[in-house]
Structure 1
Amino acid sequence: MGKNKVVPLVLLSSVLLAACGTGSNSGANEGEKSAPKTEVKKDPYTMLIYAAGVSKEEFDKRFRATLEKKFPHITFNYQTSGTGNNITDLVTRGEIPDIIRTDIPTLRSGYLDLNLGVDLTPYVTKYKYDLNRFNPVFINEIKDYTRDGKLYGLPVPPFFPNVLYYNKDLFDKFGVPYPKDGMTWDEVYELSKKMTRMDGGKQIRGFSANLTGMLRDNPFSQAILDSEKDGLTDTDKWSKVFSNLKRFYEVTGNEYPKTAADDMNMFGKGEAALSANLHSVYLVIPPEINWDIVSLPTMEGAPKRVSQRGPAYWALTETGKHKDEAFEVVMQMLTDEVQMEDSKQGIPTTLNNKDIQNALGTGHSLYKTKNMKAVSFYPPTDPTPKRKPGLVDVPLSSQQSAVSAAFLDYVSGKADLNTSLRQLDEKLKGLVEAEKSKK
């Protein structure tokens, strides 16, 4: 797998002309022509850009035109992941990209451990690049990852805020008022009970969820693996997260299905009235579902922020021969103009710019009919604490599998709350030991 106004060119030109008038005080004889400005011709070359999981079609649509206009001497060779073409394959073949799209889950294994890391701080200073353009949550997340303050990338959309989807037709059919922005989990729980019912012999579930996302991107921004020691972090908060979600599946008729995938897919089948899930342009809901969204509910004791999967980051590589120009390319891909077009297509911006945030979905045939303000109803929550330097880390995918399995044991009645959390703690310690053995 969102935090600069442009001076109008006409106005700027008028000011310059007024300041450089042709009168006797201009410092030049009337009619004198200035020497023509000579453009420095740049040698052509090819720049390789790599982004795992992002299709060539998406890259071309979002970035290619602006890059080719700004840098006509550069041929942009874009590659994405696939069999035999993952980043480790490219490094092994010596085909190392100039720019790579990384993210927090793969920052170490797919970037730093491959000795590709470049601290962008000197380039930010050299080009006077304003990091305050971005939501500070996203800058802090990548700086905090290694705890050395180095900036290994700049945040590129999309990020994936959690929202609450609802089926308008089901609410209309049962005469229940729609959910609203700013609700609490307690209010949504009561609403889910009203919407859980039989309809013509068909069981309608009041609530479903992308549980992987709900657990990973939980209301407390709670890490799974403790940042200071081996094992589960803050059992008390995990108890609240588990207990909050489990009660929805204790409602008669809304029992937990066989798998997490079954649960997540209920909404798209028209069998669930509510669904807690990510807002993502990659999430396709069948057109026959008449849906809308509101902000994700908040939990007592947790901040009123939206939990989210963070963005990816454009990063340079240590072996790149054109680092300065690569940084300029990154800046171009993150301009207000590019992010405004992204936002109009439903891709949440990584910038603080309110105009860009408010434009979310306005240029998209489907999203322009939805309550897209729900996505930014609350600001993004702070990043989860990262592991202390010197402590062995565990891939996030393995941590997610462990916490999902523990919740499944709890929600299915195989283990009580304390037992499921104790077993999760033991599992995480085992995963750490397994990683140590690989060193």
Structure 2
Amino acid sequence: MNKLFKLFSLMLTFVLILSMFSGCSQSNKNTSTNNSNSQNVSSQSKKTTIKFVVWDYSKAPEYKDIIDAFEKENPDITVEPVEIAAANYDQKLTVMLAGGDTSDVIAVKDMPSYSNYVSKNQIISLDDYIKNDNIDMKPYNGIENSLRIDGKIYGLPYRSDFWVLYYNKDIFDKAKVPYPSNDMTWDQFRELAKKLTSGSGNNQIWGAYIHTWKSAVMDWAVADKKGTLVDGNYEFLKPAYDVFLPMQNIDKSIMPLSVAKASNSSYTGVFETGKAAMLPMGTWFIGTLLTDKKAGNTNVNWSIVKAPHFPGGKAGMTFGNVTPVAINSASKNKDAAWKFVKFMGSEEAAKILARHGVMPAYRTDDVMNTYTNTEGFPSDGKDALVTESVQIEFPPDKDGAAIDQMLQEEHELIMIGQNSVDKGIAEMNKRFKEIRNQSK
């Protein structure tokens, strides 16, 4: 009996020891698991998310492709797009920044907005980043200099568009009129438009469509290197109005601005539905046409040539705009934001843009070959992309937003006939001085 008791005690002790070892093993396992989880959490916490504010993101597949390529090269950074509709992009972004929004990277739509953000210290200078990373600026072909304010650059260009002349081959063919050439004056453009205008009502075909923006008229005088829209003396604009007002009021070859405004016409709709034979417009429209034709939204048979010029000018004299990306001064992730900005302005991103028919700011022979070999690009349109000079549509200016609005208002009054050209220009000169005086 005593022996049985001792044996039982030994067995109980053995079971307890096994239990202790099992507990230790489970504890070590839990500790190991916890350490692993901790490492994963730590790894995840090191991943930075930056917000990228841009207009019409869902309508522009090139942005997603750029973000995907960037995240592949930078697995520690996630880019979260913040989409704003193009129609109210500037207004909403202005309100966001004024309210202290901390989004990191901002696509800047135009120069008046760019100037406004700089004057309010809402975007930062990129000069130190550019210098420290030894960024080669040569492929920008000097376009980056249009972004300098007081010698500093606050945005890196990723797009750089200029204006060309689009035309509908089928309308020309039906009218038995030769296609426009790459060296044409505005008077020749006017004569072509007269020949190509036909029909009425729903069957109206306009010889050309001139959009409602002031730039669609005013900036052809800028392209002629006679002045800029922030000079304050606007006499140099008269030759442009001398072309387009007679086309509207005498020839009836372009849609009146009042009709275009009242019907909320879009240049895309007018051209893609075959309602206009010619359309002066920026190169950004190439991407739209390629996308819409591929999607079956239009069957327009189109091509492009260089924009017309004034007598004494040269073929390829045009105007354009640069689209930069900037870093929000309130960003908490400026270094990560710079990596994305730098990528947006790189050759890799430029080729992605080119494949989508979007004109990149970074241009090399390889980039432009990619652009012109994109499916759907007209083979006879390549020469249109060779420019003599590209004047900036609206240079950076501290009063840019106010001047821009004033010029649009006065432009519309001239085009609807409420003011003569001389009176309208006099009003521009007067209001420019008032804007300058108010900002002192």
Q: Please classify the TM superposition score into its range, dividing by the shorter chain length.
A: 0.7 to 0.9
Which of 376, 392, 401 does residue 383 from structure 1 map onto? Answer: 392
Q: 1:225 to 1:399 in 2, by over 3 A?
A: farther
- How far off is 1:375 after superposition? 4.5
SS in 2 for 1:259: helix
Q: How far does residue 315 in structure 1 lie from its aligned partner after superposition?
A: 1.5
Native 8 Å contact 2:354 2:368 kept in 1 = yes
| Counterpart AA for 1:323 | K
From 378, 401, 424, give the equivalent of 1:420.
424
Structure 2 counterpart of 1:151, which letter?
Answer: I
Amino acid at match of 1:278: G
Q: 1:357 corresponds to which residue? A: 368
Structure 1 residue 259, shift from structure 2 partner: 2.8
Q: Which residue of 1 aligns with 2:382?
A: 373
Secondary structure at the counterpart of residue 382 of structure 1: strand
Work out which of the residue numbers 44, 51, 68 in structure 1 matches 2:46: 44
SS at match of 1:287: coil
Distance 1:388 1:199 in 2: 44
Query: Does structure 1 residue 142 correspond to structure 2 residue 166?
Result: no
Tell me, what secondary structure is at the counterpart of 2:415?
A: helix
Structure 1 residues 306 and 354: alpha-carbon distance in aligned structure 2, compared to 1, 3 A threshold: farther
Judging by fraction of residues, say which structure has more helix: 2
CA shift in 2, pair 1:323/1:297, >3 Å: same
Please, which of 311, 315, 321 is the counterpart of residue 310 of structure 1?
321
Q: Please tell me the residue identity of whatever aligns with 1:275.
A: L
One-letter amino acid of the counterpart of residue 160, structure 1:
D
Whichever residue aligns with residue 189 of structure 2, its letter is V
CA gap of 1:55–1:352, structure 2 versus 1, over 3 A, is closer
Is 1:340 matched up with 2:339?
no
CA contact (8 A) 1:343 1:356 kept: yes
Counterpart for residue 81 of structure 2: 78
The answer for the alignment partner of 1:24 in structure 2 is none
The CA distance in 1 between the partners of 2:342 and 2:196, in whole Å, is 48
1:100 to 106, 131, 144: 106
The number of aligned residues is 378
Cα distance in 2 for residues equivalent to 1:288 and 1:384 = 31
Whether the 8 Å CA contact 1:181–1:377 is kept in 2: the answer is no
Q: Deviations over 1:304-354 (max 9, x none)?
A: 444344122122233434433432322222221221121122111212312
Paired with 1:200 and 1:114, the residues of 2 have a C-alpha distance of: 49
Letter in 1 for 2:185: T
**Residue pair 2:100, 2:330 contacting (<8 A) in 1 also:** no
Which ranges of structure 1 fall in alignment gaps of 5 or more residues?
Answer: 1-40
Letter of the 1:421 counterpart: I
Change in Cα spacing, 1:168 to 1:95, as seen in structure 2 (3 Å) is same
Out of 81, 94, 116, the residue aligned to residue 122 of structure 2 is 116
- Structure 2's unaligned 5+ residue stretches are 1-42
Tell me by how many angstroms 1:172 deviates. Answer: 1.2
- What CA distance in whole angstroms lies between the structure 1 residues aligned with 2:56 and 2:202? 43
CA distance 1:256–1:201, change in 2 (3 Å)? closer
The one-letter code matched in structure 1 to 2:385 is: S
Change (3 A) 1:238 1:369: closer
Cα 1:308–1:53, aligned 2, differ >3 Å: closer, same or farther? farther
Contact 1:46 1:74 in 2 (8 A): yes
Shifted more, 166-175 versus 215-224: the winner is 215-224
Residue equivalent to 1:5? none
Summarize the Cα distance change of 1:340–1:305 in structure 2 as closer, same or farther, 3 Å threshold. Answer: same
* 260 and 430 in structure 1: CA distance in 2 versus 1, 3 angstrom threshold: farther
Q: 1:310 is paired with a residue of what secondary structure?
A: strand
TM-score by length of 2: 0.74
For 1:32, the equivalent position in structure 2 comes to: none
2:305 to 294, 303, 310: 294
- Alignment of 1:401 with 2:408, yes or no, is yes
Letter aligned with residue 290 of structure 1? N
- 1:173-217: per-residue Cα shift (whole Å, max 9, x none)? 121111122222222222222223459995433222225232353
Alignment-derived partner of residue 233 in structure 1: 233
* Structure 1: distance between partners of 2:220 and 2:430: 21
Q: Rg bigger for which structure?
A: 2
Partners of 1:224 and 1:317 in 2: how far apart? 29
Q: Percent identity?
A: 22
Summarize deviations over 1:17-67 as a string: whole Å, max 9, x none: xxxxxxxxxxxxxxxxxxxxxxxx997232323323141563652322211
Classify 1:118/1:360 alpha carbon distance in 2 versus 1 (closer, same or farther; 3 Å): same
In the alignment, the residues of structure 1 paired with residue 366 and residue 82 of structure 2 have an alpha-carbon distance, to the nearest angstrom, of 32
Letter matched to residue 239 of structure 1? K
Partner of 1:65: 68
Q: Distance in 2 between matches of 1:92 and 1:385?
A: 23
Q: Distance in 2 between matches of 1:59 and 1:273?
A: 29
Query: Could you say which residue in structure 1 is the equivalent of 2:16?
Result: none
Aligned letter for 1:381? V
In structure 2, C-alpha distance between the alignment counterparts of 1:342 and 1:131, rounded to whole Å: 18
The Cα shift of 1:282 comes to 4.1
Q: 1:268-309 CA distances to partner (integer Å, 9 max, x unpaired)?
A: 443332222223234668514322221111112445444344
The alpha carbon displacement at 1:150 in A equals: 0.2
RMSD of aligned residue pairs (Cα, Å):
3.5
* 1:272 corresponds to which of 273, 276, 280: 276
Q: Secondary structure of the residue that 1:343 maps to in structure 2?
A: helix
Cα gap change, 1:64 to 1:430, in 2 (>3 Å): same
Q: What whole-Å deviation, never above 9, does each CA across 1:104-149 have from its counterpart, x for those lacking one?
A: 221133x32443332211111111111112121x211111xx3x10
Structure 2 Cα separation of the partners of residues 345 and 388 of structure 1:
32
